[in-house]
A and B are shown apart, each in its own frame.
Chain A
Amino acid sequence: MLDISYQLIFLCLTFIAGFIGALMGIGGGIIIVPALTIIFNVPIKEAIAISIVTVVATSISGGSSYVEQRITNIRLAIFLETSTTIGAFIGALLVLIVSGQYLYIVFALLAFYLAVTQLLSVRREVKRTESNDFMSINQDRVSRYFHLRGDYFDESIHHKVDYLVKNSILGWAVSFFAGLGSGLLGIGGGIFKVSVMNIFMNVPLKVAVATSKFMIGVTAATSAILYFVAGLLNLDYIAPAAIGTMLGATVGTAVMNKIKVKWLKVLFFLIMCYIGYNMLGKGLLLTIGVRLPFI
């Protein structure tokens, strides 16, 4: 068992991860895994297993809060969950067969692409949120069939925002890869889900964040159960990690809707760049043995 002071330090770290995770609609594994491996010298596989359990914790505490605030689109979540869980399961199986070294580079490029798109879409998104202009598009047949639409009350600009969902098939397909990536690389995949919904499917950023937060619990539980039942979970770190992320997520969900969309997008850009750099570093290290700084 860990020393109690280490447990408290770890609790503070996971609090921050839970807080940022709630703001971004991501699990926070991208913060917890490096913290565990670098600061606490935990082996990478154990770190991934611990991280995935904390993702479940933040998703159910943060996710249900957004449902109460009526930001989450549950229909959209269920629709996309069908593809992310299939992806997560196949990804977890692939880990046993192939090595993921080239996939790191593929996902790094995807992260950089989405980071730039987020930054370029700031002005348009802010304008559309403020003028409530997410309705003037043509829905495709699948989105219409599943009634994928909704509204939420934005507390930073004090009015309601309505939206229609489009490109459901494309969104479903890309979500499959988000799930695949989460199974393969041990990340929650929330960052990809939010971007898919926001950039391809005409979903306002805050709804995408809330819906992603709701979804990652299901995706993460799908892989967490595999680790748990297979007995790969190191129980020493779980208690402080779960409490820290639960508290962090609670605080994060309370402030998210009060923040301007512009700042959320900028935060998104920064985190995406960090993730892209991190994965590129790992990919280069594994494929050609080049070590980038801070990896």
Chain B
Amino acid sequence: MLITGVIVSGILFASALVMHIIMPTRLEVIYTLVLLGVAVLIFTPYLRVVVALGAFFFNREYKFAVLSLLVLVMMIVSFISGLIFHIAP
């Protein structure tokens, strides 16, 4: 599952490089590809923690589910801070 995230963002980055070689003038396409790649890349660990949370919960390992939840909360807090920083730098 995590591999999927790596492969998808890897393909996006690679196609950005190829685009740069074959038509270097289409900058907006290249930037969009790179932007999507970064987004996929950064959200993969988020997804991983969510999956871990679910897996621990279903296996009734509640103490680890709580720990995963704590990690996820910190990650979301950071995301929100980024938004705030973006609005009011």
Chain B residues within 8 Å of A, Cβ to Cβ: 2-3, 5-6, 9-10, 13-14, 16-17, 20-21, 24, 27, 30-31, 33-35, 37-39, 41-46, 48-49, 52, 63-64, 67-68, 70-71, 74-75, 77-79, 81-83, 85-86, 89
Contacts and interface: CB of A to CB of B under 8 A. Distances in A.
Contacts of A75: 64
B82 A242 contact: no
A230 interface: yes
Secondary structure class of chain A's binding surface, majority of residues: helix
Secondary structure class of chain B's binding surface, majority of residues: helix
Contacts of A231: 86
Given A82-B67, A235-B35, A56 B41 contact: yes
B74 A89 contact: yes
A238 B45 contact: no
B82 A229 contact: yes
A267 interface: no
A118 B51 CA distance: 35
A232 B38 CA distance: 13
28 contacts: A4-B24, A53-B41, A56-B44, A60-B2, A60-B44, A60-B45, A61-B3, A64-B2, A64-B6, A74-B52, A78-B52, A78-B67, A81-B71, A85-B78, A89-B78, A217-B48, A218-B45, A221-B43, A221-B46, A222-B74, A225-B82, A229-B82, A239-B16, A239-B33, A242-B9, A242-B37, A243-B13, A246-B10
Interface centre among B39, B48, B52 (most CB of A within 10 A): B48
A169 to B, nearest CB: 15
A233 interface: yes
Given A78-B64, A228-B82, A242 B41 contact: yes
Interface of A: 1, 4, 7, 53, 56-57, 59-61, 63-64, 74-75, 78-79, 81-82, 85-86, 88-89, 92-93, 145-146, 217-218, 220-231, 233, 235, 238-240, 242-243, 246
